[in-house]
A and B are shown apart, each in its own frame.
Chain A
Amino acid sequence: MTTIRLENLVKSFGSFTALKTMDLEIGNGEFVALLGPSGCGKSTTMNMIAGMEAPTSGRILFDGRDMAGVPMGKRGVGFVFQNYAIFTHMTVRQNLAYGPKARGWPKAKVDAAVAKIADFLQLTPMLDQKSAKLSVNILQRLAIGRSAIVEPAIFLLDEPLSNVDAAFRAVMRTELKHLQREFRQTMVYVTHDQLEAMTMADRIAVMDHGVLQQVGTPIEVYNDPVNLFVARFIGAPGMNLVEGTLAETDRGLAVDLGAFGLSPPLPAALAGAARTAGAKEVVYGFRPEEVTLRTEGPGLRAAVGFVERIGARTIVHFGAADRALKIVAEPSTAVSVGETLSIEPVAASVRLFDKASGRAIKGAA
């Protein structure tokens, strides 16, 4: 139950800067996900919060207290490693009891805590088994239990679910959320899986190449990406992004999308913002889910490339290579390959980005 504050945090390894600058405030009891592609500096950030690595510059504050010089064992953080770091020469029980014993809890208290956490994580049946022989799914729960048992104020998890199978991942997502509700820790969760971030986090911090791109609730990050990277990274499939040029038409400002034709006129607020921004070269974006698909009518004209039917929905692919579009449609949608259709994005879902800077052009909402 602690707030975490990162101020101008920088980390370099020799001449390579893994974390260029990071400013982030994490509230008491908040669940924040650090989301980003591999190598973007997520683990580096976590290791510095935990005290495993010292920042090159910048500050880390817990409840306003500077953590510089506070050794990792004294920060009151629980840490779940990506590969679990289970003590394989010990039993499940010994693993769970490790933290409490290191802190010198009386035996009765240790036993009670072990029993409670083992029950919570369904580890009771294997308490006396050697942990070396357990399955990944159990090791995973054990790793969480071992850190959670001492009820740390801050709980850091570095891609805890990346090695477990998809079905178990879904179960663990629920359990982790449950665990956090139970213990009310401040939780920082590293992942490169946006589904994990979207489903569990109160807020998501999107990172790329050692730079924090955007922080916001899952909905904010999904609806209002601040730049092209976030737009592309969040959502599955990601946002459709087509390069084009702003063009004045008799029905208002629109975007000339080359082979796809002219976009529908932009909503007034967005058009205003685009005019103010003064950019000509833009990137026109819309979510694959938020379109109307018709054989005739206004919108982008494109030929169906192929169709993926994946049960609950159908993904229709248009065009090719860098001018490709994806549309998520009803499972019953009848389209045939080669057919040319009209794609009309829902006006409110259209986003514009400056092509040169990649930044979003925002209308006053």
Chain B
Amino acid sequence: MPPSGTRTVATDREERRLGFRLTLPTQVLILFIAVFPLLMQLYISLTDWSPLEGTGWWRAYELWNGFANYTDLLGDSRLWGALWRTFVVMLVCVPAEFLLGLGLAVLFMDDFPGKRVFYSILLMPMMVVPAVAGYMFFMLFQSGGPVNGILSGLTGLDVTIAWLSDPTLALVAVMIADIWQWTPLMFLILLAGLVGVPEDQLKAATLLGASWGQRFVTIMLPRIRTVLIIALAIRVIESFKIFDTLYIMTGGGPGVATETISVYIYKVTTQDLIWGYVAAIALVILIALSVLTVLAMKRMAAAGGRA
């Protein structure tokens, strides 16, 4: 078959060109919705521009300040405080959601009476709009609210804890709300992974004398590894952006006690209106999160190759 080789190459190139032309509108769109704002953000972050200036953002170069925003950022203790609180929330909530979700998923692998009903109930928190959940928990944690009511009932004392006005307890309340809302997602993803574990392999392992713990470690975990990493990655990224529920419950207060990075950025944007600075913070966080995601993806690809 003589010239078929060259023909294939030619057709390939043609096909690629056609593909490029067909996807051109989408590529332009992506350019506008992703790349353009990013460049704009980078541009503004290098200036002192604010909407109060009364000039268009494209004239921000008139207020050029080089890397001043970035150096300010390093010395901004409120920013670092917010970042620290965000990490605390992440380090408490994600493992808690993961362990609870995994525990529930393992329970749901077996049949028990009323399983479907429990299943629906369990998924409900996920369906609640976060703002509504925030309002719910705001009500629950009032000093005369149901949480104190239940505690009073249990202890027999008259509990009147001011949850949302105590700096430590407010953060606890916020984390409880987050765990309530996002454990179901963990549960759902992990259950999907666990039901995919071949039943006959579990039976074979049991017949070979493996205990439940041994089966979990040797058969189930290796098989849900990918799903597990995805679930963790989703929640790590999401918890970094925690905002709606929290903002409605505490508004970041008392003081800055529950001010996470999103709340801080929101306040600096809407109250202080120093947009150049906000742009710098947002860019740094974006880069940090991207690095985190890429690392997680790499890990995932490696796990996928092994499974």
Interface residues of A (CB under 8 A from B): 50, 52, 71-74, 77-79, 81, 83, 85-87, 89, 98-99, 102-103, 146-147, 150
The smallest beta-carbon distance between B174 and chain A, in angstroms, is 40
Is the pair A87, B219 in contact by a Cβ cutoff of 8 Å? yes
Contact with A along B199-210 (1 / 0, CB 8 A): 011011111111
The smallest beta-carbon distance between A144 and chain B, in angstroms, is 12
Given contacts A83-B200, A85-B198, A89-B222, contact A50 B205 (CB under 8 A): no
Which partner residue on chain B sits nearest A89 by CB separation? B222
- List chain B residues, Cβ under 8 A from A73: 206-211
- Identify which of A81, A85, A89, A150 contacts B209 (C-beta below 8 A): A150
Q: How far is the CA of A98 from the CA of B202 in the complex (A)?
A: 12
Q: How far is the CA of A89 from the CA of B222 in the complex (A)?
A: 8
Q: How far is the CA of A73 from the CA of B211 in the complex (A)?
A: 8
Is the pair A102, B198 in contact by a Cβ cutoff of 8 Å? no
B22: CB under 8 A from chain A?
Answer: no
Which partner residue on chain B sits nearest A77 by CB separation? B207
Given contacts A87-B219, A89-B307, contact A102 B203 (CB under 8 A): no
Q: List 24 A-B contacts (CB under 8 A).
A: A50-B207, A71-B206, A72-B207, A73-B207, A73-B209, A73-B211, A74-B209, A77-B207, A78-B207, A79-B207, A85-B198, A85-B204, A86-B201, A87-B205, A89-B222, A89-B223, A89-B306, A89-B307, A98-B205, A98-B208, A98-B218, A99-B209, A102-B205, A146-B208
Which partner residue on chain A sits nearest B200 by CB separation? A85
Q: How far is the CA of A74 from the CA of B203 in the complex (A)?
A: 13
Contact with A along B202-245 (1 / 0, CB 8 A): 01111111110010001100110000000000000000000000
Given contacts A147-B208, A150-B209, contact A81 B214 (CB under 8 A): no
The smallest beta-carbon distance between B303 and chain A, in angstroms, is 11
- List chain A residues, Cβ under 8 A from B210: 73, 98, 102
- List chain A residues, Cβ under 8 A from B203: 52, 72, 79, 81, 85
- Identify which of A72, A89, A147 contacts B206 (C-beta below 8 A): A72
The smallest beta-carbon distance between B216 and chain A, in angstroms, is 12
User: Which residues of B24-41 are within 8 A (CB) of A?
Assistant: none
Which partner residue on chain A sits nearest B306 by CB separation? A89
Which partner residue on chain B sits nearest A99 by CB separation? B208
The smallest beta-carbon distance between B61 and chain A, in angstroms, is 57
Q: How far is the CA of A323 from the CA of B209 in the complex (A)?
A: 55
- List chain B residues, Cβ under 8 A from A79: 203-204, 207
Which partner residue on chain B sits nearest A75 by CB separation? B207
Instruction: State the 7 A-B residue pairs at the shortest beta-carbon distance, nearest first.
Output: A99-B208, A85-B200, A102-B210, A85-B204, A102-B209, A79-B207, A73-B206
The smallest beta-carbon distance between A100 and chain B, in angstroms, is 9
Which partner residue on chain B sits nearest A156 by CB separation? B207
- List chain B residues, Cβ under 8 A from A103: 209
- Identify which of A78, A81, A98, A102 contacts B211 (C-beta below 8 A): A102
Q: How far is the CA of A50 from the CA of B208 in the complex (A)?
A: 11
